[in-house]
Amino acid sequence: MTEGVSKQETPSSEKESISHGEIQDLIVELGNNLNYFAEKEFRIDGYKLDVVWKRTVDAAPSEAFEVQKRGNLRQAIENLRHAWGKGISKLYLVVFTTKDKMKAERLVDVSLHDIKDHVYVRTIKEIMKWHNSTKTAAEDAIKIGGHKGLAQLRFRRNVSRLQRKKSPRKRKKKDATIDG
């Protein structure tokens, strides 16, 4: 037995360390940090996208994410193609290892050749790095601004707008009185 030599993490142990749902949650939080309204398990015409980002609560998604841990990479690509057809302009395919990324990029080049400039293949490490950089910026904004961040303010504004649409308030007529 050799002492002092650390065992490097293998791609398979890396895949087991974080679940599909945890990655989705990370992408949702990333979207919130970037002032998007993020939604998990978004259904569109029978297709399910892992995560979508919207500019406002009631807007159509502008960005879509498919997380590919195990399973059918072609199905994830088909979901992204459908999302593109529904007007989602930025498509992300999130994979676990650099080897998976190279395989996915080749498949995107072949299967999505006409829209490949709008498809971004990222590893989970790249997503985590992106998340950490935005989390720090969001925390700094809270410290400086003294509020819970722009995303929360925008969310409250849109929720109150939706509530007003659903239950319009009846305005009471005020009696004009003149103090004399």
Residue 133 sits in a domain whose CATH number is 3.40.1350
What range does the domain containing 161 cover? 18-166
pLDDT at 145: 62
Task: Give average pLDDT by consecutive 10-residue segment, the chain, 180 residues.
Answer: 38 65 94 92 93 94 93 88 94 93 92 91 93 76 57 50 48 50
The residue count for the chain: 180
Closest CA to 63 of 95, 96, 30: 30
Q: Beta-strand (E) ranges in 26-68?
A: 37-44, 47-54, 61-67
Q: Is residue 178 situated within a structural domain?
A: no
Q: Contact at 8 Å (CB) between 137 and 105?
A: no
Q: Is residue 161 situated within a structural domain?
A: yes
Q: Is residue 78 situated within a structural domain?
A: yes
Q: Contact at 8 Å (CB) between 30 and 124?
A: no
Q: What SS3 class is residue 119?
A: strand
Q: In what order do the strands lie in the sheet with 61-67?
A: 37-44, 47-54, 61-67, 90-95, 119-123
pLDDT at 143: 63
pLDDT at 135: 77
| Structural domain count, the chain | 1
Q: Is residue 26 situated within a structural domain?
A: yes
**pTM of the prediction?**
0.70
